[in-house]
Amino acid sequence: MAKKFSELRAKMSLQARAEANAIASKLRADYPLHELRRARGLSQEVIAKTLHVSQANVSKIEQRTDMYISTLRSHIRAMGGELEIRAKFPDGDVVVTGFAEESLTTA
């Protein structure tokens, strides 16, 4: 008989739970864009409809290694998230600002 995950987790030691949480956090933190979409249970078609573009366009975006921040922001928003740009330094992380949509428009 299959056991519930909650029952198995309850039997784990605190150290084992902490290690499992650390591994899960690491896995969540390192996703290419197409895998992030899949992990969120979304298809390219759903993203395309949200962005009002073709499914082929979504596929191209997900394969790019270089893109505009506004393009990435739109894609992340279509998945229900918000884009945050963070710089990592030995003495701590800093959220980089100045990439708000208003700052992308020219006068």
Domain edges within the chain? 16-82
Band (pLDDT 50/70/90 cuts) for residue 106 is: very low
Q: Which two tokens stand for residue 88?
A: 């990592």
**Single-letter amino acid, residue 9:** R
List pLDDT tens digits, range 10-66.
Answer: 888 989 888 888 877 776 667 889 988 998 899 999 999 999 999 999 999 999 989
pLDDT digits (tens, 9 = 90+) for 68-96: 999 999 999 999 999 999 999 999 999 99
Question: To which residue do tokens 């082929």 refer?
Answer: 56
> What is the Cα–Cα distance from 42 to 53, expressed in whole angstroms?
15
Query: What SS3 class is residue 99?
Result: coil
pTM of the predicted model as reported, rounded to 2 decimal places: 0.63
Separation between Cα atoms, residue 75 and residue 51, nearest integer Å: 8
Q: Give CATH for domain 16-82.
A: 1.10.260.40
Residue linked to tokens 């290690």: 19
What CA–CA distance (Å, rounded) separates 51 from 78?
7
